[in-house]
């Protein structure tokens, strides 16, 4: 009997738990709970070695003060695909709390005096032996003056597979938002067999810091001309082929002096000095669609592990 949790933990507002277990060669969701404003959906699939969970928020977005904390266990011999439905929209800080009957967590209650609390999303993943986690959400979009922190920790076994996509877009084009968020902080920490192999931290801030305005660079200027930045961490047996393909493609690129930047740029790098740690891919594109298509094509060999129909649900 899978002992994922011996007692039902007290759930805070925005808390959630997912456990995918294996029994008789089939994957089944043995734990599945979420409290407002977090919402989880899991469609029934024909392939029963894979499960899909959509991670959503009521209202389709997060506002200041929201705190989402999700714990995910992908047990041995199972494959979990985590998706979202549409970009995770983060709205500006707002002083009032959401109305919810469930007690807000400690984190959300804390705030700097005089300042509205920021939005926080914490995800803790455990991926066991011969298991695979495909975290392929839509990108985060921080609207004007939004402040967002995301902390993702992945604890994986030596023979587990991880595909971690973390990406952000520049804002609502229709409103002329071009990197006008206040703060975006995202951490992806990867531990393999208990040992930390990577801690990728991205911090994007707009702050009028330098008094000399000539030297002050806005976020839009620093990141121009790209409207979408993505980071993908790949490691494990099921992505060996993808990594090999990427390595070959990357090695074949040769840059001559250009007059202006390309529409899409990507880089490939190993993580640490051990091949087992995997690779990190970074992509920047002038439009989100371009990056999406690039990712969809690049990760296509995942179809052989999760099936064409399941893969199709990612990057819609």
Partner 1 sequence: MDDETFLLLLLPDSNLPTGSFVASSGFESYIKHGFGGDQNNRTIMFMRDSISAYARSALAFVSDTHRIVQDKLTNYTMPLNDVTKRASKSQGVALLTLYSKGLTPPLALTGVKNREETEIEVNSYMTSLVSQYKSLVRAESAPGHLPICWGILTSALGLTSERSQYLHIFLHARSLLSVSVRLNEIPYNAQQTLLHISRSVIEAEVVRCKDLRTGIPSSTGTESDQPDGVDDKSRGPANTWPLGEILAARHDLQHSRIFNS
Q: For the chain, report the end-to-end CA distance as a whole number of angstroms.
A: 36
The residue (of 27 and 243) whose beta carbon lies closer to partner 1 is: 243
Residue 239: DSSP 8-state: G
Among 31, 47, 159, 189, contact with partner 1 (rule: CB under 8 A):
189
Instruction: Determine the interface stretch with partner 1 among 2-10, 129-137, 196-204, 297-305 (rule: CB under 8 A).
Output: 196-204
262 binds partner 1 (CB under 8 A): yes
CB of residue 264 to partner 1, shortest distance in Å: 10
Residue 208 lies near partner 1 (rule: CB under 8 A) = no
DSSP string, 86-139: S-EEEPPP-SSPPP-SSPPPHHHH---TTS---EEEEEEEEE-TT-EEEE-PPP
Binding status of residue 120 toward partner 1 by CB under 8 A:
yes
Part of the chain binding partner 1 (CB under 8 A), chosen from 104-112, 135-143, 298-306, 307-315: 104-112
Residue 307 in the binding site for partner 1 (CB under 8 A):
no
Shortest spacing between CB 104 and partner 1, in angstroms: 13
Q: What are phi and psi of 4, to 5 degrees?
A: -70, -40
Strands 183-192 and 147-156: parallel
Q: Which of residues 280-299 bind partner 1 (CB under 8 A)?
A: 280, 282-284
Q: Report the distance separating Cα 100 and Cα 120, nearest Å.
A: 17
Under rule CB under 8 A, how many of the chain's residues touch partner 1? 55
Q: Is 109 in the site for partner 1 (CB under 8 A)?
A: no
Applying CB under 8 A, does 196 fall inside the site for partner 1?
Answer: yes
The site map against partner 1 for 264-283 (x = CB under 8 A) is -xxxxxxxxx------x-xx
Among residues 1, 8, 99, 215, the one that binds partner 1 under rule CB under 8 A: 215
State yes or no: residue 218 binds partner 1 (CB under 8 A): no
Please give the Cα distance from 215 to 157 (Å, whole number). 47
Q: Identify the H or E element spanning 222.
A: helix 219-223
Site for partner 1 contains 217 (CB under 8 A): yes
Q: Beta partners for 100?
A: none
Q: Is 44 in the site for partner 1 (CB under 8 A)?
A: no
Q: Name 155's bridge partners.
A: 126, 191
Toward partner 1, which CB reaches closer, 228 or 306? 228
193 binds partner 1 (CB under 8 A): no
Q: How far is the CB of 67 from partner 1 (least distance, A)?
A: 8
- Tokens for 235, please give them: 């490691």
Q: Which is nearer to partner 1, 52 or 122 (CB)?
A: 122
Residue 10: how many other CB atoms lie within 10 Å: 9
Q: Which of 143, 131, 121 is nearest to 37 (CA)?
A: 121
In the block, tokens 């902390």 appear at 151
If the CB atoms of residues 70 and 284 are measured against partner 1, the closer one turns out to be 284
Taken in order 281, 285, 289, 290, is the CA torsion positive or negative?
A: negative
Query: Please, which of residues 129-148 interact with partner 1 by CB under 8 A?
Result: none
Which tokens hold the place of 131?
A: 């298991």
State the Cα–Cα distance between residues 120 and 142, nearest whole angstrom. 12
The answer to whether the CB of 111 falls within 8 A of the CB of 117 is yes
User: What's the chain's length in residues?
Assistant: 316
State which residue, 142 or 283, has the beta carbon closest to partner 1: 283
Give the residues lining the site for partner 1 (CB under 8 A). 106-107, 110, 120, 122, 149, 151, 185, 187, 189, 196-205, 209-212, 215, 217, 222-223, 226, 229, 231, 250, 253-262, 265-273, 280, 282-284
């Amino acid at each position: 009997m899978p002992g994922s949790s011996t007692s039902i933990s007290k759930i805070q507002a925005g808390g959630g738990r997912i456990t995918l277990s294996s029994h008789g060669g089939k994957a089944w969701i043995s734990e599945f709970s979420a409290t407002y404003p977090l919402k989880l959906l899991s469609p029934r699939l024909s392939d029963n070695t894979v499960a899909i969970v959509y991670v959503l928020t009521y209202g389709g977005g997060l506002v200041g003060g929201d705190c989402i904390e999700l714990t995910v266990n992908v047990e041995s011999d199972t494959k979990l695909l985590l998706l979202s439905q549409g970009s995770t929209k983060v709205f500006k800080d707002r002083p009032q709390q959401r109305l919810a009957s469930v007690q807000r967590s400690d984190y959300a209650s804390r705030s700097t005096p005089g300042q509205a609390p920021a939005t926080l999303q914490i995800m803790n993943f455990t991926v066991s032996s011969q298991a695979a986690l495909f975290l392929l959400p839509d990108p985060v979009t921080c609207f004007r003056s939004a402040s967002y922190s995301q902390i993702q920790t992945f604890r994986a076994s030596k023979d587990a597979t991880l595909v971690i996509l973390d990406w952000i877009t520049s804002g609502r084009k229709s409103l002329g938002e071009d990197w006008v968020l206040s703060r975006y902080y995202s951490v992806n920490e990867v531990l393999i067999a208990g040992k930390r192999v990577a801690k990728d931290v991205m911090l994007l801030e707009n702050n009028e810091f330098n008094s000399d305005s000539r030297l002050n660079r806005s976020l839009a200027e620093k990141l121009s001309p790209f409207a979408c930045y993505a980071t993908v961490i790949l490691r494990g047996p099921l992505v060996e082929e993808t990594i090999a393909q990427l390595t070959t493609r990357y090695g074949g690129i040769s840059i001559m002096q250009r007059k202006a930047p390309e529409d899409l740029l990507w880089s490939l790098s190993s993580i640490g000095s051990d091949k087992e740690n995997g690779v990190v891919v970074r992509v920047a594109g002038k439009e989100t669609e371009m990056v999406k298509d690039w990712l969809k094509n690049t990760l296509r060999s995942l179809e052989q592990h999760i099936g064409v129909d399941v893969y199709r649900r990612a990057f819609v």
